[in-house]
């Protein structure tokens, strides 16, 4: 393991602290996707497989069953592929619009200064 990988691993939050995804929440899929996308921004040297290897800890309930079946069928895949599959399975155009806007407003309100 290279020095940069060791440093990246130190910055990677424990998988137990990641948002959980059940496939039934109002926008828990968006929360998980946003969280993982931000990990890649915050820790740019993080290898993709470190994220995808921990995905199983984020899924629960019906989403866990779906994830297990998808992994058995398709094998190991990168985050970009998993992200598209989550969106394809748990969203559509209307859902994305109705879900993304409330999610963005809840997590990143325009009227509040985050600093």
Whether the pTM exceeds 0.85: the reply is: no
Share of the chain above pLDDT 90, in %: 34
For the segment 33-43, what is each residue's pLDDT rounded down to a tens digit?
A: 999 999 999 88
Backbone dihedral region for residue 56 (phi beyond 0: left; psi -120 to 50: alpha; all else: beta)? alpha
Residue-level pLDDT at 93: 57
Which of 111, 110, 33, 45 is CA-nearest to residue 79? 33
Confidence at 57, pLDDT banded by 50, 70, 90 = very high
Residue-level pLDDT at 85: 94
Residue-level pLDDT at 65: 94
Q: Which helix or strand (DSSP H or E) is residue 86 part of? A: helix 79-90
User: What is the dihedral angle through the alpha carbons of 24, 101, 88, 52, rounded to the nearest 10 degrees?
Assistant: -80
Cα 68 from chain centre: 16
């Amino acid at each position: 393991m290279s020095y940069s990988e060791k440093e990246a691993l130190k910055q990677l939050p424990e998988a137990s602290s990641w948002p959980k995804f059940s496939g039934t929440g109002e926008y828990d899929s968006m929360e998980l996707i946003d969280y993982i996308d931000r990990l890649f921004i915050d820790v740019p040297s993080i290898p993709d497989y470190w994220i995808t290897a921990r995905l199983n800890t984020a899924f629960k309930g019906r989403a866990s069953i779906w994830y297990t079946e998808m992994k058995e069928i398709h094998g190991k895949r990168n985050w970009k592929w998993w992200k598209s599959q989550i969106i394809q399975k748990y969203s559509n155009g209307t859902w994305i619009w109705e879900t993304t806007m409330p999610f963005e407003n809840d997590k990143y309100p325009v009227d509040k200064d985050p600093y």
